[in-house]
Amino acid sequence: MTGAVTVAGMCGIIGYVGHTESTRPLSVVMEALSRLQYRGYDSAGVVVVNQSGLHHVKKAGKLAALEAELAARPLPAASSAVGHTRWATHGGPTDANAHPHLSPDGAVAVVHNGIIENHDLLRQELLNAGAVFSSQTDTEVAAHLLARAYHQTGDLPDAMCLVAQRLEGAFTLLAVATGQPHLVVGARRTSPLVVGLGEGENFLGSDVAAFVAQTNRALELGQDQVVTITPDSVSVTDFAGQPVEAKHFTVDWDASAAVKGGFATFMEKEIHDQPDAVRDTLLGRTGPQGHLKLDELRVSESLLRSIDKIIVVACGTAAYAGHVAKYAIEHWCRIPTEVELAHEFRYRDAIVTEKTLIVAISQSGETMDTIQAVRHAREQGAKVIAVVNTMGSTIARESDAALYTHAGPEVAVASTKAFLAQITATYLLGLYLAQLRGTMFADEVRAVLSELDQTPAKIQTVIESEDGIKALASAMKETKSVLFLGRHVGFPVAMEGALKLKELAYIHAEGFAAGELKHGPIALIDQGQPVFVVVPSPRGRDALHDKILSNIEEVRARGAVTLVVAEEGDIAVTEFAERVLWVPQTPTLLAPLVAVVPLQIFACALASAKGLDVDQPRNLAKSVTVE
Ligand code: M6R
């Protein structure tokens, strides 16, 4: 078959193996897929293996379509199963392109995440040898090659090693075969894969969310490794078949955190989880004397004292967390700090030396652009500290140290609680560096930590005011464009508010530094244009507060409808606003933790009022595992 190639991009993968033939493999896999849909939801499929061979069902569309198909065509009891939920990077999501892909003789089935870059060459080679393809995917090439290798070796792990050696690009592959019903084999290069360890059963997942409901014992896999799970064993080799050690870790996520818990959507639930996300990220990181201790920072203190520049690399919401961090770190530590989109950093000639500290921020720990930025920086001798939410993820593993955020599993595609946890963790990092380098006195660090301890309760207060924000959002559901203005740390908050609205409600939204307004963007203001303004505390720098009031006047004079996020007690703003969304008083540098919350609630409510799927917005996947 010719035509546009459909490649598997950021996909969710689960593999299961147990002793007896039962319905458990299928139910484990389907439950995992419901959890993994944030990685892609263009199509889904499952394959189960029993003594009689492979049995599969796959369907374009969201998981509900696969569930309906399974109800119509139930699969038999089995001892192992593999499932896949897909986000395609090219071409249309069709039944034929959905995973798993079976070899033409039905001997093996393969699911895949990533891009096999030499698929064209391999496809041509297979076509010359008489192969017939039934999909447009690069994955099917792997299925053909694997079946040939399996017939040659009679052993699926050996066959997988042979195939993995021939593939270029990034891939996680899981495979099952007829005649080996108690075995699932995986291979990984660059794309993620972790092992879940059960009792008399084992799991493979594209991330720990795949099996967190079943076990919290896990194994990290390295680059270019093949893993074979049976009900009672896990063996890991390199692509040449040589045994290698895998590292054990414990997943400290609570499985119940990955269910909606009475909320209509994951996003609403995760907004409500935010006080806990901040609290848990702060937990256990202060010694008895109020001294900050970050035991996991396995970078020597002398090196941290010697760094002369910090570059934060991240994408999307995580990059906005980095922008907030820049203000705090420069203020507390006096270390020049840059924030750069990971994909931009990677492909320019950034000045990175052994005295540069890279801070890579990522919820998933699997964002390919950020992974590549980390690798690039380390190649140049820089140390990398990862601020990551997902244990066992690639960025955590490949960095010099990981400072974990404790937001728990974030399922909604739009990031909320991870953002607050990222900001919190970078504050801790900044305070730690300030403590270490002596740019703050111990009592100053303690004072900020004590303010930070109060933020979960403040976030809760904002959440409790959600009804008014939701009513505002409903009333604005026909709005076509919304602008967001902020200054200082309010600027990244404005950009994040705009991103939330774009990705959830498909509305044109832009965040501007309020001071930039007169340099162009003010031309956008017309009669009735809604403008959110994030107003800094009047108790902070007066100039900042007063300047933004002038900016509000400027847009109002041109017809804007101003919706102002302001601190309780800031009476001065009321005459400048059509509507004030009050947030509790918070020191300026920490204010993003509370100021962004009304904007998240607004975007979520407006998208819901439009009848949109807030957990799975169109065209997106949560974890962008291709460049
Ligand atoms: O997993 P990461 O934090 O690395 O993801 C980075 C971005 O892809 C992510 O924040 C994205 O912008 C979200 N959809 C925002 O809601």
SS (H, E, C) 414-457: CCCHHHHHHHHHHHHHHHHHHHHHCCCCHHHHHHHHHHHHHHHH
Rounded Cα–Cα distance for residues 280 and 424 (Å): 10
**Closest ligand 1 atom to Cα of 367:** 4
Counted residue by residue, the chain has a size of 627
Does 45 have pLDDT greater than 70? yes
CATH numbers and ranges of domains, the chain? 12-253 (3.60.20.10), 269-459 (3.40.50.10490), 465-609 (3.40.50.10490)
**Mean pLDDT for the chain overall:** 92
> If residue 156 lies in a helix (H) or strand (E), which one and from where to where?
helix 156-166
Q: What is the pLDDT of residue 255?
A: 67
**Closest ligand 1 atom to Cα of 422:** 3
Backbone angles phi, psi at 512, to 5 degrees: -125, 150
Q: Whose CA is nearest to atom 9 of ligand 1?
A: 316
Count of CB atoms within 10 A of residue 101's CB? 31
What is the tens place of the pLDDT at every residue in 519-570? 998 999 999 999 999 998 888 766 789 899 999 999 999 999 999 999 999 9
What is the tens place of the pLDDT at every residue in 80-134? 999 999 877 555 689 999 999 999 999 999 999 888 889 999 999 999 999 999 9
Ligand 1 site: residues with CB under 6 angstroms? 315-318, 362-364, 367, 370, 413-415, 503, 623-624
Of 31-40, 193-202, 340-349, 550-559, give the lowest mean pLDDT range: 31-40
Catalytic annotation, pick one of 458, 500, 502, 622: 622
Q: What is the pLDDT of residue 541?
A: 62
Rounded Cα–Cα distance for residues 126 and 1 (Å): 12
Q: Whose CA is nearest to atom 12 of ligand 1?
A: 316
Does 442 have pLDDT greater than 50? yes
Percent of the chain residues past pLDDT 70, beyond the cut = 96
Confidence of residue 207 (pLDDT cuts 50, 70, 90): confident
Count of CB atoms within 10 A of residue 7's CB? 22
Does 40 have pLDDT greater than 80? no
Q: What is the pLDDT of residue 253?
A: 78
Closest CA to 391 of 415, 366, 413, 368: 366
| Residue 11 designated active-site | yes
Distance 418 CA to ligand 1 centre (A): 9
Distance 346 CA to ligand 1 centre (A): 17
Q: What is the largest CA-CA distance in the chain?
A: 79
Q: Whose CA is nearest to atom 4 of ligand 1?
A: 362
Read off the pLDDT of each residue in 154-163 and give the average, rounded to a whole number: 97
Q: What is the pLDDT of residue 54?
A: 98
Rounded Cα–Cα distance for residues 107 and 103 (Å): 6
Q: What is the pLDDT of residue 5?
A: 39
Q: Whose CA is nearest to atom 8 of ligand 1?
A: 316
Beta bridge partners of 534: 486, 565
Q: What is the pLDDT of residue 92?
A: 65
